[in-house]
Chain A
Amino acid sequence: MPILEAFPDGNNIMKHKLITLPRNTTQLPIIAISNSTITLGRNGVSSISPQTLNYNGNNSQAESGYIFTAMDARLFSSFGSGDGNSSQNQYNGAVKFSETVSNLQTLNFVTLSGVSLFGTNSQLITVITVEGMDSGARATVLVKINKEATAINQAETGETATVL
Chain B
Amino acid sequence: MAYLESYNGGDVVDDTQRVVTSTWTNNVNELTAVFTSSAQAVFTTSTSKGAFFIDVHNDATTSSVQYSVAYGHKTGGGSLDFTNTGTALGNSPSKVNYNQYRQLVFGDETKNFIFPGTIGATDAYTPDDIYVININRGRYKNNLKTSTLNLKLSGSGLGFLHLTDDSITSTGSAIITNAGRQFNLVSGSSGIRSGSLTVQVTDSGSYGLYYPDSGFIILNPAAIDHHIAEAVPTITANNNAKNHEKLVNVISGGASFIVDSEETISSKYYFTRIKNQDFNFTTNPSFIDNNGNLRYNTMEANPKVFITTVGLYSDSNELVAVAKLSQPIAKDFSKEALIRVKLDY
Interface residues of A (CB under 8 A from B): 3-10, 13-14, 16-21, 23-30, 53-54, 67, 86, 88, 102-103, 133-138, 160, 163-164
Contact = CB atoms under 8 A, between A and B. Distances in A.
B301 A8 contact: no
B3 A136 contact: yes
Given A14-B309, A17-B283, A23-B277, A30 B292 contact: yes
A59 B257 CA distance: 73
Contacts of B321: 8
Interface residues of B, number: 38
A10 B300 contact: no
B160 interface: no
Most A-side CB within 10 Å, residue of B281, B300, B309: B281
Given A19-B282, A20-B280, 4 more contacts: A13-B319, A17-B282, A102-B316, A135-B283
A135 B301 contact: no
A157 B265 CA distance: 55
A137 B3 CA distance: 10
A14 B284 CA distance: 10
B292 A18 contact: no
Contacts of B290: 160, 163
Interface string B259-300: 000000000000000000111111111011011111000001
B281 A6 contact: no
Most B-side CB within 10 Å, residue of A10, A18, A26, A54: A18
A6 B285 CA distance: 22
Most A-side CB within 10 Å, residue of B283, B301, B323: B283
Given A8-B321, A18-B282, A133-B317, A29 B301 contact: no
B309 A136 contact: no
A23 B301 contact: yes
Contact of B311 (A4, A14, A29): A14
A13 B3 CA distance: 14
B73 interface: no
Interface of B: 1-3, 5, 277-285, 287-288, 290-294, 300-302, 305, 307, 309, 311, 316-324, 331, 333
14 contacts: A14-B311, A14-B322, A16-B282, A20-B3, A20-B277, A20-B278, A20-B280, A24-B301, A26-B294, A27-B292, A28-B294, A53-B292, A86-B318, A134-B2
A26 B319 contact: no
B336 to A, nearest CB: 13
B309 A28 contact: no
A10 B153 CA distance: 56
A67 B281 CA distance: 21
Most B-side CB within 10 Å, residue of A4, A8, A29: A8
Contact of B300 (A3, A26, A86, A88): A26
Contacts of B284: 16
Contacts of B1: 133-136
A119 B16 CA distance: 54
Contacts of A67: 317
B294 A21 contact: no
Contacts of A137: 283
A6 B343 CA distance: 12
B334 to A, nearest CB: 11
Nearest to A163: B285
